[in-house]
Structure 1
Amino acid sequence: MASRPATVDDVHALARAMPYVTVEHGPKGNPVYQVGRKSFVFFRTPRPDAADPVTGERYDDVIMFWVGSEVDKDALVRDPSTPYFTTAHFDGHPSVLLRGSRLGEISLEELTEIVQDAWLARASRRRADAWLAENGPPVDAS
C-alpha cells in the first residue's frame, strides 16, 4: 500500500471493505458502520462535547473509532503528535475521536490499522478469529 495521507473517503472505503459490515444512518443521515449490529466506526453529528475551544463552534466532522481497550485508547490520545482525541462524554468508553479535517495528518496505512482494529474490537469472536486467520493481525503503522 502506497504511503499517502488518509481521507474521509478512505474511512468509508476501509469500513465497507471489512466483512459482514452493514451501514446504518443516524437521525441526521450520518453513516454508522456496524458488524453484527455493533457499531465500530461512526460519523458523529455536531455535539457540545467536541467544539472549537476558541469559538465554541461544534465540530461537524468528528469520526468515532472503537479501540480494543483503554490502554489502546490511552496510547492514541496521550501522544500529542497524533490528531486523536477524546472528550469527557467518552470517559470509560473504548473509543477515540478524530476530526475528518485532520485525517491528512495520518497515513492511509495508519487509518487502515485503526479501522481494522475497530472492526476486530466489535466483531464476534468467531468472525474476528476467521478474519485474523486469513489476514493476520493489522500491521502496526507507527
Structure 2
Amino acid sequence: MPEDERRSARVEDVHEYALAMPHVTVYPGTGDRPIYQVGGKSFVFFRTPRPDAVDPESGERYRDVIVFWVASEEDKQALVRDETSPFFTTAHFNGHLSVLLRAGRVGELTRDELAEIVQDAWLSRASGRRAAAWLDAHPPP
C-alpha cells in the first residue's frame, strides 16, 4: 500500500473521497456542514449538533459528527460494536442504516480505510445501475 494511503485520514479526505464518487451532488446544508448525495439520496453528511450525541464528561453536544450510510444493519453493528472502532450510533439512529464518526476521531482511520467507508456509503445509496458500473470499473483487490 502506498505511504499516502497508510497515513492517518483527515476531515479533508472525507470531502475528497465523497466528491471523487460519480454523480455526486453537494448541498450546502447548514453552515459548513455539506451533504453529499447520489441520485438525490444522502450518503455522507456533516450533522448539526443534537441532544442525543453528547460528551459523557462535559454534557456538551458533539459539534463534529459525520454520518455515513451503510448497506445493512449487520455492517452497522460490525462497525459500532468493535471497541477499537471510532464509529458509534445513538438512539436517534436506531433502525437507520448509518454510522456516526466524530471529526476529531477521523485520524484513527487510515486514508485507505476512510476511502472504503465513503465508497461503501456511496454504493449503499446509488442506484443498482450506477453501483454496478462503479464496481465493474473498480473491482476489489
TM bucket (normalised to shorter chain) is over 0.9
**Partner of residue 34, structure 2:** 31
Asked if 1:77 is matched to 2:77, the reply is: no
**Which residue identity is paired with 2:10?**
T
Structure 1: which 4+ aligned runs deviate by more than 2 Å?
Answer: none
Residue from 108, 112, 118 that aligns with 2:111: 108
In the comparison of the two structures, how many residue pairs are matched? 138
Q: Distance in 2 between matches of 1:32 and 1:108?
A: 20
Q: Distance in 2 between matches of 1:27 and 1:114?
A: 23
Q: Distance in 2 between matches of 1:128 and 1:95?
A: 18
Q: Give aligned-pair identity as a percent.
A: 65
**Partner of residue 128, structure 2:** 125
Asked if 1:53 is matched to 2:56, the reply is: yes
TM-score (normalised: structure 1): 0.94
Once the 2 structures are TM-superposed, how far is the Cα of residue 76 of structure 1 from its aligned partner? 0.3
Once the 2 structures are TM-superposed, how far is the Cα of residue 25 of structure 1 from its aligned partner? 1.7
TM-score (normalised: structure 2): 0.95
